[in-house]
């Protein structure tokens, strides 16, 4: 069964058919939630909520890109999760030191649970990028993730976030510009091919 | 070092990297890139930033997110009464709107005539001054002779006149109650009536007109359709909520 057949069956209440869609899309949705939220637990909750919401509102899916429709739902559930965690913070999304001050240094990026061998260059770079993403406004993060991580084109992103094309272009450019500035602080982590050589 | 470029330039090079510029915009930017070193350097920085983002490893979901029946609302089919209730509610709303519109346009304005007459009514003291004129009026308008006499008697006694099923005793009032005379009589009395007609009109005591106005059929329909629309709408909502849980 392809996606369309599964969607039709799920619309008629076939939970098994919907769960096959869940298995096909869960990595995509978790990825988006993680890039927007920057936290595994929060992304986990947002992804689960997104699938529940998608099932309950499946009747509102009128065709088109199911992937874009699902990404819209998970992006919105990520916004909701972010608001919920801001209202009732349990675990800080940003690392803090013993005095409760936010740590801006790249030192925190290294997971203390990992051995030095495990801290591969790739892993550290990924954490550095995520750290810079986390410093962006959430609307910028969502657009950057949709374009540069999920690989959507501008028109699809416009549909997902429900904003005009000009807004997509603007948020993407400003987000990338800020990321460029932030990543220059992680010079030593960047592979030679990616170093932004102008200033160093 | 960060190259300082305008927001417009940043947006242009970002869209350029994604191939989102029109051929004209693209040609213009490329010609500027050849002469503007800062812009060229900013383009390279953004290109590498974009490449870094795209090098991020795809994350695997830490678990399966399959749903269980307990996690979702059971999807029961809507009961058959739901579409019926919804249809009735919509139809009643439409009829209510139509009747209301008709009421505003004055289609059921027979109740307006008693109101006009009521405006012209005078206190009972003035009624006492013109009993004879009232008598003349009844003759001209061809009303039964016995009724004006009764009216005179009741007026002479200073009692307010009560409406009877046959119409009011006064000749002019009789015309007022006649559909053919609805528009002409109260506002423009026949010239032959002269001042007598006006006097007669003013001579009529104040009848209690509220009860007929309230029983206007349009009003009744408005109430009926409004109530049906609200009740069936609420019933449909309750049925739907019952389904969705």
Percent above pLDDT 70 for chain A: 76
Interface test mutation site (partner A, options B3, B60, B66, B73, max chain A beta carbons within 10 A): B66
- What is the rounded CA–CA span in Å between residue A4 and residue A11? 11
Mean pLDDT of B44-51: 92
Interface test mutation site (partner A, options B25, B45, B78, max chain A beta carbons within 10 A): B45
What pLDDT is stored for residue A113 in this prediction?
Answer: 52
Mean pLDDT of A3-29: 94
Secondary structure of residue B62 in the 3-state scheme = coil
Assess B59–A contact: CB distance below 8 Å, yes or no. Answer: yes
Q: What torsion, rounded to 10 degrees, do the Cα atoms B32, B37, B42, B43 define?
A: 50
Q: Which residues of A touch B62 (CB under 8 A)?
A: 30, 40, 44
- What is the rounded CA–CA span in Å between residue B136 and residue B121? 18
CA B219 to chain centroid, in Å, comes to: 15
Q: How far is A38 from chain B (nearest CA, A)?
A: 12
pLDDT: is B168 or B16 the higher one?
Answer: B16
Assess A34–B contact: CB distance below 8 Å, yes or no. Answer: yes
**Residue of chain A whose Cα is closest to the Cα of B11:** A173
pLDDT digits (tens, 9 = 90+) for A136-151: 999 999 999 999 999 9
Mean pLDDT of B205-224: 67
Q: How far is B228 from chain A (nearest CA, A)?
A: 30
Structure ipTM: 0.78
**Residue of chain A whose Cα is closest to the Cα of B20:** A154
């Amino acid at each position: 069964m392809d996606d369309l057949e599964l969607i039709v069956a799920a619309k008629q209440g076939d939970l098994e058919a919907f769960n096959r869609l869940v298995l096909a899309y869960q990595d995509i949705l978790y990825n988006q939630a993680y890039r927007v939220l920057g936290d595994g637990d929060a992304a986990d909750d947002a992804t689960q909520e997104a699938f529940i919401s998608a099932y309950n509102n499946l009747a509102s899916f009128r065709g088109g890109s199911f992937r874009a429709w699902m990404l819209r739902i998970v992006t919105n559930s990520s916004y909701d999760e972010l608001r919920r965690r801001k209202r009732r913070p349990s675990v800080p999304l940003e690392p803090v030191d013993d005095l409760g001050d936010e740590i801006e240094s790249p030192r925190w990026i290294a997971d203390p649970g990992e051995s030095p061998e495990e801290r591969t260059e790739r892993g550290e770079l990924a954490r550095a990028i995520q750290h810079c993403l986390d410093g962006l406004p959430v609307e910028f993060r969502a657009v950057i993730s949709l374009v540069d991580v999920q690989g959507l084109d501008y028109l699809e992103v416009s549909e997902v976030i429900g904003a005009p094309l000009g807004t997509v272009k603007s948020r993407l450019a400003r987000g990338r510009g800020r990321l460029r500035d932030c990543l220059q602080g992680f010079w030593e982590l960047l592979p030679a091919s990616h170093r932004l050589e102008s200033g160093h | 070092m960060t190259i300082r470029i305008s927001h417009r330039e940043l947006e242009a090079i970002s869209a350029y990297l994604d191939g989102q510029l029109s051929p004209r915009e693209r040609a213009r930017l490329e010609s500027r890139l050849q002469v503007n070193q800062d812009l060229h350097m900013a383009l390279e920085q953004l290109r590498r930033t974009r490449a870094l983002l795209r090098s991020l490893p795809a994350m695997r979901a830490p678990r399966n997110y399959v749903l269980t029946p307990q996690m979702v609302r059971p999807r029961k089919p809507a009961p058959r009464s739901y579409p019926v209730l919804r249809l009735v509610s919509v139809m009643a709303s439409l009829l209510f709107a139509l009747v209301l519109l008709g009421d505003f346009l004055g289609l059921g304005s027979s109740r307006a005539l008693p109101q006009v007459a009521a405006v012209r009514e005078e206190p009972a003291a003035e009624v006492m001054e013109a009993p004879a004129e009232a008598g003349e009026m009844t003759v001209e308008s061809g009303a039964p002779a016995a009724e004006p006499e009764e009216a005179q008697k009741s007026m002479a006694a200073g009692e307010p006149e009560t409406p009877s099923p046959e119409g009011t005793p006064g000749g002019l009032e009789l015309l007022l109650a006649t559909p053919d005379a609805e528009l002409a009589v109260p506002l423009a009395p026949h010239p032959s009536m002269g001042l007598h007609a006006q006097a007669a009109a003013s001579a009529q005591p104040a009848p209690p007109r509220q009860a007929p106005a309230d029983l206007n059929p349009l009003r009744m329909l408005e109430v009926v359709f409004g109530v049906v629309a609200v009740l069936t709408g609420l019933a449909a909502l309750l049925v739907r909520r019952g389904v969705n849980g």
